Amino acid sequence: MLGIDIVSIERMQRLVARFGIKGLRRFLSADEINLCYKDSSKAFNISRIAGFWAAKEACAKALGVGICKELSFLDMTISKDSKNAPLMNLTQSKMREFGIDEIALSISHDGGFAIAAVLCKRCEKA
């Protein structure tokens, strides 16, 4: 199942300017927020924040539910592998609920936009 989302980086800039870290906590975990700092100055990498938003929206679309009671932003987490590539995970209960055993994620930024594509692989039936 495939989901794709695109978001304006400027939109995320406005969100951060208006709500700060409290706004980020509505859709990012503490570990994800830490990944969004540019450096030790504690300035945010807004492109990365936009990419994470798009990734979570794309995942929800791949699962066919959108962001709702059935799947919240915080049911999904984004991390990085040893080569700094993004990884998408769901909570174990959501993986079981949706019958997913693998998720692939790609994020890109260009021209003032962040885009993400998520591919969810269903568990093989025995």
Q: Which residues are annotated as a binding site?
A: 5, 57
- Residues at the binding site for Mg(2+) are 5, 57
Listed in sequence order, the residues at least 6 apart from 83 whose beta carbon sits closer than 8 Å to its beta carbon are none
Closest to 61 (Cα-Cα) out of 124, 106, 102, 5: 5
- The three-class DSSP label of residue 124 is coil
Q: Which two tokens stand for residue 22?
A: 């409290």
